Amino acid sequence: MGEIHRDQYVSTVRANVPLCSEHYRLVLQLPEFPPTEPGQFIQISCRDLDVDYGPEHELVEQDGRWSNPIGMELQSPLAILRRPFSLAGRRDVDGDDPPTQRRTTAIHKIHEFVKDDLEERWARLARAGRDVKPASEATKTLQSPKQIVSADRVELDIIHRVVGVGTDWMSRLKVGDRVHILGPLGNRFTLPAQELSPSPGTPGEGQGGGRMSVATPTPTLPRSTGRGRESDATVASAEKDQQSILVGGGVGIPPMLYLAERLVGRSAVAFCGALRRDLLPLSIREGIRGVGDSAPREDIVEFARHGVASVITTDDGSYGFQGFVTQALEQYLDSREPAAVKPIIYTCGPEPMMKRVADIAHARGIECQIAVERAMACGMGTCQSCCIKVRRPPAASGGRDWVYRLACTDGPVFRGAELLW
């Protein structure tokens, strides 16, 4: 297992806006955060950092009396455990706004002061007859101001649906509030093969020992310009690319947005499904899609900005194709040129949906990667609450043809063919 980069961080809310009737887009800002990849998640501590909640304890009955029935967790609903959320996007911002300018100037001044001070001390030691190296050797060890200010800030996007006490707390976060997070956690989606060299600085199998990342080296990932397809040359090469099909249902849509960010200039199409239109956590351009239309169109802003067309489905037909996202997927796959290079399917959403996607892929011999959203407590492989059964050759698992894996550290991304639902 490689190096694990996860840690705890205090982030600041940069935005928290409602996207539809139940989803919010939360942007968390941090001075720094380890490298991340689509499929990974963070754990959010859904409590105010400035409130002293007191020690947590169980309510114990002794001699007919309840001990210490005063903890805040006993007085009102309180999210004691952290809650897991997929990364829906990430930006490393090299800002040049006024506060950053002030910070940059301050860092340069501090650097000059420390450098002068060090040189002065060195000179004093030399005058006192001490055998010291040239002062320039000592100041070399100082980090340059450029290094310090280069990664100005990191912004992490989270899209969350209000379903209980933790997400309700998150929906009430305001710009400037502080949020405690743990991450990055879990493994990642493996991008389709591309003739590119491995990229330095991207997490490999070390992120919790993800098995999928061991199998395929991380290709160099084109950076998003936010302007859609980058050049004619890239588009031409994308035509020969293995197509990525992204299938997201409900709260499974956020990791697909982050994945789309990494697929700029490559062949990709997204399928997004929800019960009703007002539960789609997406910005939809009006007037592009007709009633019942199941063709891929560039009407979801978050995908279109990366050059990814999308298909929208609603169970009640309030927008796009009426029916399950899996039905639209089947139709699409059946309409593909049989001789075309097989696509690769990425999916996240409710388990019945993902199971159906896995079956559809399996029946057509298509590789499928699934991000499972099992209920999780620790998120770090300690509590064993997120076990999932995975197929294994009997010889490799003591005679059984399955083993338990942990969704938080061995996953959340698994190959469709290996999951035993």
Ligand X SMILES: Cc1cc2nc3c(=O)[nH]c(=O)nc-3n(C[C@H](O)[C@H](O)[C@H](O)COP(=O)(O)OP(=O)(O)OC[C@H]3O[C@@H](n4cnc5c(N)ncnc54)[C@H](O)[C@@H]3O)c2cc1C
User: Would you give the distance in Å from CA 65 to the centre of its chain?
Assistant: 47
User: Would you give the distance in Å from CA 168 to the centre of its chain?
Assistant: 21
Q: Fill in the amino acid letter for 173.
A: L
- Candidates 379, 388, 405, 415: give the one binding ligand FES (CB under 6 A): 379
Nearest-approach distance from CB 378 to ligand FES, in angstroms? 4
> Does 369 engage in binding with ligand X (CB under 6 A)?
no
Q: Which region, judged by CB under 6 A, interacts with ligand X, from 92-100, 131-139, 157-165, 267-275?
A: 157-165
> Does 383 engage in binding with ligand X (CB under 6 A)?
no
> Does 375 engage in binding with ligand X (CB under 6 A)?
yes
Q: Which region, judged by CB under 6 A, interacts with ligand X, from 106-114, 194-202, 311-319, 371-379?
A: 371-379
> Does 164 engage in binding with ligand X (CB under 6 A)?
yes
Per partner kind, with CB cut-offs from 5 to 8 A, the member of ligand X, ligand FES, none near residue 241 is none
Nearest-approach distance from CB 43 to ligand FES, in angstroms? 9
Closest-CB residue for ligand X? Answer: 164
> Does 209 engage in binding with ligand FES (CB under 6 A)?
no
Between strands 367-371 and 344-348, the pairing is parallel
Between strands 7-18 and 23-30, the pairing is antiparallel
Residue whose token pair is 């705890």: 8
- Candidates 274, 282, 370, 408: give the one binding ligand FES (CB under 6 A): 408
Residue whose token pair is 């999951």: 419
- Candidates 8, 384, 401, 417: give the one binding ligand FES (CB under 6 A): 384
* Contact characters 301-340, ligand FES, x per CB under 6 A: ----------------------------------------
**Residues numbered 242-281 forming contacts with ligand X, rule: CB under 6 A:** 251, 254
Q: Which region, judged by CB under 6 A, interacts with ligand FES, from 55-63, 191-199, 209-217, 372-380?
A: 372-380
Closer residue to ligand X in complex, CB, 41/303: 41
Nearest-approach distance from CB 358 to ligand FES, in angstroms? 21
- Candidates 38, 89, 166, 343: give the one binding ligand X (CB under 6 A): 166
Tokens of 277: 């239109």
Closest-CB residue for ligand FES? Answer: 408
Closer residue to ligand X in complex, CB, 40/267: 40
Per partner kind, with CB cut-offs from 5 to 8 A, the member of ligand FES, ligand X, none near residue 382 is ligand FES
> Does 385 engage in binding with ligand FES (CB under 6 A)?
yes
- Candidates 6, 25, 160, 262: give the one binding ligand X (CB under 6 A): 160
> Does 410 engage in binding with ligand X (CB under 6 A)?
no
SS (HEC) of the chain: CCCCCCEEEEEEEEEEEECCCCEEEEEEEECCCCCCCCCCEEEEECCCCCCCCCCCCCCCEECCEECCCCCHHHHCCCCCCCEEEECCEEEEECCCCHHHHHHHHHHHHHHHHHHHHHHHHHHHHHHCCCCCCCHHHHHCCCCCHHHHHHCCEEEEEEEEECCCHHHHHHHCCCCCCEEEEEEEECCCCCCCCCCCCECCCCCCCCCCCCHHHHHCCCECCCCCCCCCCCCHHHHHHHHHCCCEEEEEEHHHHHHHHHHHHCCCCCCEEEEEEECCHHHCCCCECCCCCCCCCCCCECCEHHHHCCCCEEEEEECCCCCCEECCHHHHHHHHHHHCCCCCCCCEEEEECCHHHHHHHHHHHHHCCCEEEEECCCCCCCCCCCCCCCEEEEECCHHHHCCCCEEEEECCCCCCEEEHHHEEC
Closer residue to ligand FES in complex, CB, 153/211: 211
> Does 390 engage in binding with ligand FES (CB under 6 A)?
no
**Residues numbered 104-143 forming contacts with ligand X, rule: CB under 6 A:** none
The binding site for ligand X (CB under 6 A) comprises 41, 79, 83-86, 159-161, 163-167, 251, 254, 373-376, 412
The binding site for ligand FES (CB under 6 A) comprises 376-379, 381-386, 406, 408
